[in-house]
């Protein structure tokens, strides 16, 4: 199945997921409020990630909150984390908590892998996340590829998915606003499949 056949179904279903999450947010202002301190937000996300799966859906609106989510996706992953990104933003991926969580993930299992598809070319010798993984001697389990420019025109979203079970999904690559779920295997597996299709068009 090609990208053009996969992407529309993913996009339409993601819209219904977003609407459902937004409705829940309106009805649960405590869990989705914007005035958390970072310590409170980290505690909240950890509680959701460690709780019953599938978890409640979290809305995520800032780079700082995105970093906490990515940190916890690495923390809860067992075998793979896949990232589709516009530029592997340093204000998320250069954060020490994110880097340390990624390194811990790779060290927990010798078969664990991180796969990154980026819409812009990344310099592996200078990006803090990539250099830290390499410095930890784990670079053989980190792959970085660049999205084909033609494929990039066919979608607008970015995402991270862990073990095809948990995800952070940005409807627009130009915004940090995202939907997050732990143990949402049906939607996370669709993201995993889209990642695989895009990987075949990447260098």
pLDDT in tens, 90-109: 999 999 999 999 999 999 99
- Mean local confidence (pLDDT), 32-40: 72
Domain boundaries, the chain: 3-199
CA atoms within 13 A on the CB side of 177: 9
What SS3 state is found at 191?
A: helix
Tokens 């310590």 belong to residue: 39
User: Where residue 16 falls among pLDDT bands split at 50, 70, 90?
Assistant: very low
Q: 163 phi and psi, to 5 degrees?
A: 55, 20
CB 77 within 8 A of CB 84: no
Top CATH class, 3-199: alpha beta
pLDDT of 24 > 50? The answer is no
Q: What is the pTM of this model?
A: 0.85
What SS3 state is found at 141?
A: helix
Q: Which residues pair with 161 in a beta bridge?
A: 82, 167
pLDDT of 4 > 50? The answer is no
pLDDT of 2 > 70? The answer is no
Percentage of the chain with pLDDT > 70?
A: 82
pLDDT of 6 > 80? The answer is no
pLDDT of 36 > 80? The answer is no
- Mean local confidence (pLDDT), 14-35: 45
> What's residue 29's pLDDT?
36
> What's residue 35's pLDDT?
64
- Mean local confidence (pLDDT), 14-28: 42
Residue 175 parent element (H or E) = none
What's the CA gap between 58 and 149, in Å, rounded?
31
> What's residue 34's pLDDT?
56
Structure tokens, 37: 């301190």
């Amino acid at each position: 199945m090609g990208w053009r056949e996969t992407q529309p179904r993913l996009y339409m279903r993601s819209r219904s997921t977003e609407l459902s999450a937004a409705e829940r947010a309106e009805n649960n202002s405590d869990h989705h409020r914007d005035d958390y301190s970072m310590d409170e937000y980290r505690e909240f996300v950890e509680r959701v990630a460690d709780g019953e799966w599938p978890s409640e859906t979290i809305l995520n609106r800032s780079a700082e909150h995105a970093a906490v989510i990515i940190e916890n996706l690495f923390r809860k992953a067992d075998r793979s984390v896949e990232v589709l990104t516009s530029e592997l933003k340093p204000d998320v991926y250069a954060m020490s908590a994110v880097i340390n969580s990624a390194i811990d993930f790779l060290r927990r299992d010798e078969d664990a892998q991180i796969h990154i598809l980026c819409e812009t070319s990344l310099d592996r010798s200078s990006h803090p996340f990539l250099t830290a993984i390499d410095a930890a001697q784990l670079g053989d389990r980190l792959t970085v590829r660049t999205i084909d420019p033609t494929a990039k025109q066919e979608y607008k979203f970015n995402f991270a998915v862990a073990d095809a079970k948990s995800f952070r999904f940005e409807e627009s690559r130009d915004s940090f606003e995202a939907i997050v779920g732990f143990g949402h295997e049906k939607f996370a597996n669709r993201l995993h499949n889209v990642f695989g299709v895009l990987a075949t068009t990447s260098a």
